[in-house]
Amino acid sequence: MSVTLDIRLKRANKVYREGEAVAGVIVLACKEPLQHHGISLSMEGVVNLQLSSKSVGVFEAFYNSVKPIQLISSNIEVAKAGKIPGGKTEIPFEFPLHTKGNKVLYETYHGVFVNIQYSLRCDMRRSLLAKDLSRNCEFIVHCQPQKAKVAPTPVNFTITPDTLENTRERSLLPKFLIRGHLDATHCVISQPLTGEVVLENSDVPIKSIELQLVRVETCGCAEGYARDATEIQNIQIAEGDVCHGLSIPIYMVFPRLFTCPTLETTNFKVEFEVNVVIVLHDDHLITENFPLKLCRV
Amino acid sequence: MAAVQWRSRGRNYEAELQRCRPEVALVEFGDYHPLKPIMVTDTKTRHGARKGSTSSSSSSSSSVPPDPLSSMLDGTDPLSMFAAASASETPAISRSASAGDLGRKRKEKEEEAVGADFEPWSSKRGEILARFTTTEKLSINLFMGSDRGKAPSPGSSAVSEKVRTRLEELDDLEEGSQRELLNLSQQDYANRIEELNQSLKEAWASDQKVKALKIVIQCSKLLSDTSVIQFYPSKFVLITDILDTFGQLVYDRIWSMCSDPRPLPDSFTVDDVNDTAKETCLNWFFKIASIRELLPRLYVEAAILKCNRFLNKSGIQETLPRLTAMIKGIGDPLVAAYTRAYLCRVGVEVAPHLKDSLNQNFFDLLGTFRQIGGESVRKQLALQRVEAPEYLTLYSPAISWILQCIAYRAPEPLLTEMMERCKKLGNNALLLNSVMRAFRPEFVADRATDFIGMIKDCDEAGFPKHLLFGSLGRSLACADPPESERLTILNEAWKVITKVRSPRDYVNCAEIWVEFTCRHFTKREVNTILADIIKHMTPDRAFEDAYSQLQSVIRKILTYFHDFSVLFSMERFLPFLDMFQKDSVRVEVCRSIMEIFIKHQLDLTRDPVILNAMLHICKTMHDSVNALTLEDERRSLALLIIGFIRMVSFGRDFEQQLSFCVEARATFCNLEPVLVQLIHTVNQLAMETRRVMRGSHSRKTAAFVRACAAYSFITIPSLSSIFSRLSLYLLSGQVALANQCLSQADAFLKAAVSILPEVPRSISVEGKLRSSESFLLDFTNNFLAMLLVVPDHPEHGVLYLVRGLLNMVQDYTWEDNSDAKVRVYVSALPLLAAMGQETYVYSVPKVDSNETLYGGDPKFLSEINKLCETLIGQILDHLKVLGRDEGTRRQGALAFSLFGVLLAHGDLRNNKLSQLAVNLWNLSHKHGHCEPRVSVRTLEFVKHQAQQPDMSHLSDTVQRLTLQSRT
């Protein structure tokens, strides 16, 4: 006897904001009438923190701070023990997205050391002989639009051998001049990162120009913290020896789930940066770093 | 059986003719005519009984009877009904059926939206694939899975390359697998790509969307590989096919998500799209936006550009410029140019109204043009050992396509601006070439002089000028430049063309310009050009490699010059033809000339220039015939030559005509149909002479017609077909007789008789063996009819030819079991009867037949009767034989036909004859094989005859003829 349990949200994109109601149906499909010991539905929002392996030893003292942080949790009984008829049964439900106390609903974010996740879980308890059924369904929370409106301020940059830090043998570097700008470093998350870069001149041919989107996750508190920067994605914007003096557009869409508005709390931080990477023909990397501030409007 | 006494019935042909003639009835005009439309004026009463059986009787007003074929079909014919049905069914077919097919169908529809005059990509496709080929080995390198594919481990080099390839072939396109296919020939490469196309479709069908996307990404990545650069344009074509498939699949999928409950209209808006579909679509765009490498990201996003329609109204409009700008990031100029071409292609297909990004693409292209001569390109070319001119031509499909998109229905000022921009760029030859190819021919033609100036000025930069002139020539072939400039244009262009060294390049270019020259100039200029081509193509037999171009030159000339006297008065035309030295090509060229000649030469001609040239051409065709030539080929060549011979006429100069025929006979001796035609021509000539002389020849004309007869007489034996020989002998004999050449006629007929024994028993008719008997019977009957008017030869005996023929018939080995011989005898009887008359039924003017020669001499008559008796004896013997064997049916038929002859030609007053007739009648009815209707009608006829004066004796006979009832 087969039975399937499914949760279907009303919104196709599964995106909700604080104050809205998460609505949907539980779908039960079975061929014959089904005996059960009750069906329950729970909603949970959790921040999971994890320490990178290199930091574990050092920060054992702050073990507490790596405990999951619960943001929201509620539970309802959908059906008391009883029988559901054969065929397809849909049970509608609705959860209001309200936090208790002064907790804030952070935006959904899938990172490496920080994960902010919201999910619905439906459980059907059954008699001893049959397995209990359960079903998980993630939904996505977008935080409230931030009121502070910022006018985009372009950021210009120029890269030459002289502007580079962190080089051992400056004299060995070929001559080059790269100019460009980002239209803003204070970005709206739903809008692409834009700008342009111009290879004014270069003694050696270049191989590639890339945009590297980096997440900087910090776990811990005032006493000490672990800060890790990892790559989210790398987008190539120029390939091969591009024409000199030509403005090449910088364009990158912020990936969903893997980015969220820049977040700063007492226990953890999520920040983003972008690197403009120029790969020279001999695989020499030249990187210019720009911290970003993401927000949602 | 005692010999039957034959008596011919005396005939009065005049009177009989009078009697047979129906009464002349005056037909009132407008009353009745068989061809007049059927008019039924009063049918109402009848109409009730025959309920509208045919449309003509049911209509009460005058009407043209409808064509019976069309009236059967009740309006529409079944074929178009099917077509209509399938057309209306199309939307009903479920979308899931085969997305590819549907996609193609829809794509076609969209191309229509652009306009039929827009040359679609599909037509360019094949051209590019055919043009850009390579013999170098190619490789495909696919990394499925992570971008950082495992580097080939050092150990793997120990395994031979072949084994490695094989091992890798075993792997599927699974996650993380790497496939590197090396040493592929061009065809292998295309097959591989097609395989990938298939696996893309399969993956999609089995819901492996991620795998599908991976395949597409890997394929588009191949486009950044410019090794074996000569093949790049073809590679582009192959791979963009995959991208098109992918774009269509994605579009169809999202489209089908919205088609519940009813399919989206073609002109849907964003509001018609449901959230799920939008979300799916958005997902695709997010996925594609995170593709690491630039080129695949560009291509794949361009491939699904159309899906923007599901998301928002302005999506396409915003995406196109962005993608255009992103192309600037591609370093390799060739790769970038083709990416632009693809973007333009998709753009024109999806949003033909968005012209701006097309223009922007072109301007960007111009902006990066200096790269083509740059360092890295030069290095690459040196590495691959590719010459700069060849490299530059690789660009032309892409640039031409972009320009074509821009130029399509573009306003004049835009084109002018484009031209100015190109000019500013130092008159780059490559650009100029593409401009001339892509812009409207009228536009180019109007500025032809400017263009020539630009071509002259432009720095060649490795791009050969003859290609430029070729492109210009192509435009000028379709559109006319201002009249005053034409000559200058031609002179300027030819000045350059004639300097082209390589014969191949030269002839390619020259061929194009021939059209322009033929269009606007006279034979003088064309002649000059022909001379120039000859001069260039003759050294080292360069023409051998250029037959197709040279042929096209001839074709173009023939399209414009239909007057053959002008054509052949070009001194260089025939020498030009002499360049076609390969037999097959030469014959083909001659053939095309002949076809045009037959089609366009309407008047008879005697122009020596035409005759000489045409004879030369026909001789070429004729000489190509050999033992291996197919029958059809011979026939069609013969037809063409005959067509020419029929156009030749020297008017009243008959002798010249005859000598032409003599010459033609010598020239075309291998083609029998031509010889036959020549004999006919000569016979016609003789008859024409007779007409001109009104029947009485002078000494001179008599000699001439005798010459004609001699011509035929010596030509006929060279024919191999026995029946054409026979009929031509007969015909020529008739002509000779009509021209009072008695001895010649005699000779013809004697010759005919003498070859009769050679007639084979079976002949091949249209490839099948058939008995020749019926042909032979036809011929002998025809021959007998002719013999009536042929006077006996004074030195030979009476009825010399008739006897000769009958002897031949007797000796001929007829088929076993055949009545043919006796049939000839039966049909000889009427001839003999007719010969016995006082005046013959027909005669040849100015020729005395036997009637006058013998004047009814009793000896002559008894000769005839004796002959008849012998014949009847033979026939009766044969009848007896038939009675013995099981041949009663044949016996009956034969007896009946002899009865008919007796009735018509025998004098039945003679008792014996009438008894014989009655016996024959009975014999024919004895076994009941007779058709009763024929018997009844025959009886009626006899009764009718009996009422005629002098025929009353027949009534006795009638009494004795009994009808046998079947029962």
B937-953 pLDDT, tens per residue?
Answer: 888 888 888 888 778 88
Quick one: CATH architecture of A3-142? Sandwich (2.60)
Q: What are phi and psi of B305, to 5 degrees?
A: -50, -40
Q: Are strands A39-49 and A69-79 parallel, antiparallel or unpaired?
A: antiparallel
Query: pLDDT averaged over chain A?
Result: 84
Measured CA distances, B755 to B748, B751, B796, B818 (Å): 11, 6, 20, 21
Say what the ipTM of the complex is.
0.91
- The model's confidence at residue B104, banded by pLDDT at 50, 70 and 90, is very low
Domain boundaries, chain A: 3-142, 155-295
Contact between A276 and A168 under an 8 Å Cβ cutoff? The reply is no
Mean pLDDT of the region B814-838: 88
pLDDT tens string B566-610: 888 888 888 888 888 888 888 899 999 999 999 988 888 888 888
* More confident site: B27 or A33: A33
Q: What one-character DSSP code corresponds to residue B38?
A: P
Q: What one-character DSSP code corresponds to residue A4?
A: E
Contact between A84 and A36 under an 8 Å Cβ cutoff? The reply is yes
In chain B, % of residues over pLDDT 90? 19
Nearest chain A alpha carbon to B288? A253
pLDDT the model gives residue B460: 60
- Could you tell me which of B909, B839, B920 has the C-alpha nearest to residue B7? B909
* CB proximity list for B507: less than 8 A, separation 6 or greater: B533, B536, B537, B542, B546, B549, B550
> What is the C-alpha separation between B831 and B871, in angstroms, rounded?
12
- The model's confidence at residue B23, banded by pLDDT at 50, 70 and 90, is low
> What is the C-alpha separation between B232 and B138, in angstroms, rounded?
11
Taking the alpha carbons at both ends of chain B, their separation in whole angstroms is: 32
pLDDT the model gives residue A144: 81
Question: Helix, strand, or coil here: B854?
Answer: helix
Measured CA distances, B775 to A39, A141, B99, B830 (Å): 103, 101, 64, 20
Dihedral sign, CA of B300, B306, B311, B317? positive
Tokens of B361: 């693409």
pLDDT the model gives residue A224: 62
pLDDT the model gives residue A57: 57
Examine the pLDDT at A158 and tell me if it is beyond 70.
Answer: yes
- The model's confidence at residue B96, banded by pLDDT at 50, 70 and 90, is very low
Tokens of A85: 């008829």
Choose among B224, B286, B331: nearest Cβ to A241.
Answer: B331
Mean pLDDT of the region B286-300: 91
Mean pLDDT of the region B421-439: 75
Angle at B736 between CA B731 and CA B741, to 5 degrees: 160
Mean pLDDT of the region B666-686: 93
* CB proximity list for B789: less than 8 A, separation 6 or greater: B737, B840, B842, B843, B844, B847, B849
- The model's confidence at residue B169, banded by pLDDT at 50, 70 and 90, is very low
Tokens of B322: 């962005």
B293 has a chain A CB within 8 A of its CB: yes
- The model's confidence at residue B353, banded by pLDDT at 50, 70 and 90, is confident
pLDDT tens string B870-892: 999 999 988 888 887 677 888 88
Contact between B760 and B775 under an 8 Å Cβ cutoff? The reply is no
pLDDT the model gives residue B187: 82
Measured CA distances, B155 to A287, B140, B164, B170 (Å): 35, 21, 12, 19
Mean pLDDT of the region A77-103: 85
Do the domains A155-295 and A3-142 match in fold?
Answer: yes
- The model's confidence at residue B126, banded by pLDDT at 50, 70 and 90, is confident
Q: In chain B, what residues touch A240 (CB-CB under 8 Å)? A: 224, 330-332, 335, 376
- The model's confidence at residue B83, banded by pLDDT at 50, 70 and 90, is very low
| Cβ pair B331:A253 closer than 8 A | no
Please, how many CA atoms are within 13 Å of residue B46, restricted to the half-sphere of its CB?
A: 12
> What is the C-alpha separation between A117 and B786, in angstroms, rounded?
115
B499 has a chain A CB within 8 A of its CB: no
- The model's confidence at residue B31, banded by pLDDT at 50, 70 and 90, is low
Mean pLDDT of the region B259-278: 79
Neighbours of B778 (CB within 10 A): 12
Contact between B559 and B553 under an 8 Å Cβ cutoff? The reply is no
* More confident site: B26 or B434: B434
pLDDT the model gives residue B90: 41
Contact between B266 and B102 under an 8 Å Cβ cutoff? The reply is no
Nearest chain A alpha carbon to B292? A235
pLDDT the model gives residue B376: 80
> What is the C-alpha separation between A201 and A174, in angstroms, rounded?
11
Question: Helix, strand, or coil here: A26?
Answer: strand
Choose among B289, B326, B371: nearest Cβ to A243.
Answer: B371
- The model's confidence at residue B65, banded by pLDDT at 50, 70 and 90, is very low
* More confident site: B48 or B196: B196
| B289 Cα to chain A: minimum distance (Å) | 6
- The model's confidence at residue B665, banded by pLDDT at 50, 70 and 90, is very high
Examine the pLDDT at B343 and tell me if it is beyond 80.
Answer: yes
A256 has a chain B CB within 8 A of its CB: yes
> What is the C-alpha separation between B144 and B675, in angstroms, rounded?
75
> What is the C-alpha separation between B510 and B529, in angstroms, rounded?
8
Dihedral sign, CA of A177, A182, A186, A189? negative
Q: What one-character DSSP code corresponds to residue B807?
A: H
Contact between B894 and B875 under an 8 Å Cβ cutoff? The reply is yes
pLDDT tens string B322-332: 999 999 888 88
pLDDT the model gives residue A168: 67
pLDDT the model gives residue A169: 67
Count of residues in chain B: 967
pLDDT the model gives residue B951: 80
pLDDT the model gives residue B380: 84
Contact between B450 and B485 under an 8 Å Cβ cutoff? The reply is no
Give the CATH number of domain A155-295. Answer: 2.60.40.640
| Cβ pair B294:A238 closer than 8 A | yes
- The model's confidence at residue B405, banded by pLDDT at 50, 70 and 90, is confident
* CB proximity list for B109: less than 8 A, separation 6 or greater: none
Contact between B789 and B831 under an 8 Å Cβ cutoff? The reply is no
Mean pLDDT of the region B66-76: 46
> What is the C-alpha separation between B28 and B32, in angstroms, rounded?
7
- Identity of the amino acid at B209: K
Residue with structure tokens 């912020």?
A254
Q: How buried is residue A260: exposed, middle or buried, by Cβ count under 10 Å (0-12/13-18/19+)? A: buried
Strand pairing partners for A8?
A25
| Cβ pair B290:A233 closer than 8 A | yes
pLDDT the model gives residue B433: 80
Strand pairing partners for A75?
A42
Task: Output the DSSP codes for B936-954.
Answer: HHHHHHHHHHHTSTT-TTH
pLDDT tens string B488-525: 888 888 888 888 888 888 888 888 888 888 888 888 88
Nearest chain B alpha carbon to A12? B276
Strand pairing partners for A29?
A4, A88
> What is the C-alpha separation between B533 and B470, in angstroms, rounded?
15
Using a cut of 0.80, tell me whether the model's pTM lies above it: no
Examine residue A255 and say whether the peptide bond preceding it is cis (omega within 30 degrees of 0): no
pLDDT tens string B743-776: 999 999 999 999 998 888 888 877 788 888 888 9
In chain B, % of residues over pLDDT 70? 84
Choose among B326, B330, B370: nearest Cβ to A251.
Answer: B326
> What is the C-alpha separation between B430 and B462, in angstroms, rounded?
9
Q: Out of A263-267, B733-737, B814-818, give the one with best mean pLDDT.
A: B733-737
Q: What one-character DSSP code corresponds to residue A278?
A: E
pLDDT the model gives residue B629: 85
Mean pLDDT of the region B402-419: 80
> What is the C-alpha separation between B435 and B891, in angstroms, rounded?
89
pLDDT the model gives residue B47: 42
> What is the C-alpha separation between A230 and A265, in angstroms, rounded?
20
A25 has a chain B CB within 8 A of its CB: no
pLDDT tens string A253-297: 999 889 999 988 888 889 999 999 989 888 888 888 999 988 888
A231 has a chain B CB within 8 A of its CB: no
Contact between B735 and B709 under an 8 Å Cβ cutoff? The reply is yes
Examine the pLDDT at B783 and tell me if it is beyond 90.
Answer: yes
Task: Output the DSSP codes for B568-595.
Answer: HHSTTHHHHHTT--SHHHHHHHHHHHHH
> What is the C-alpha separation between A172 and A177, in angstroms, rounded?
15
Q: What are phi and psi of A131, to 5 degrees?
A: -70, 150
pLDDT the model gives residue B28: 58
Choose among A11, A236, A243: nearest Cβ to B294.
Answer: A236
* CB proximity list for B315: less than 8 A, separation 6 or greater: B308, B309
Contact between B405 and B365 under an 8 Å Cβ cutoff? The reply is no
Query: pLDDT averaged over chain B?
Result: 80
pLDDT the model gives residue A69: 85
Contact between B458 and B499 under an 8 Å Cβ cutoff? The reply is no
> What is the C-alpha separation between A103 and A113, in angstroms, rounded?
21
Range in A95-104, B20-29, B265-274, B942-951 with the lowest mean pLDDT: B20-29
Q: What one-character DSSP code corresponds to residue A146?
A: P
Mean pLDDT of the region B826-841: 89
Q: What one-character DSSP code corresponds to residue B202?
A: H
Task: Output the DSSP codes for B114-148.
Answer: H-TTS--HHHHHHHHHHHS---S-EEEEEE-S-SS
Interface A-B: count of C-beta contacts within 8 A: 83
- The model's confidence at residue B51, banded by pLDDT at 50, 70 and 90, is very low
Measured CA distances, B906 to B17, B830, B879, B961, B962 (Å): 19, 9, 19, 17, 20
> What is the C-alpha separation between B880 and B426, in angstroms, rounded?
107
Measured CA distances, B326 to B217, B222, B573 (Å): 17, 19, 57
- The model's confidence at residue B186, banded by pLDDT at 50, 70 and 90, is confident
Residue with structure tokens 């007057």?
B563
Residue with structure tokens 């009078």?
B18
Find which of A194, A199, A233, A236 to mutate to test the B interface (most B CBs within 10 Å of its CB): A236
Angle at B906 between CA B905 and CA B910, to 5 degrees: 160
Examine the pLDDT at A61 and tell me if it is beyond 90.
Answer: no
Measured CA distances, B35 to B31, B39, B66, B68, B70 (Å): 12, 11, 14, 15, 19
Q: In chain A, what residues touch B329 (CB-CB under 8 Å)? A: 209, 236-239, 242, 248-249
- The model's confidence at residue B427, banded by pLDDT at 50, 70 and 90, is low
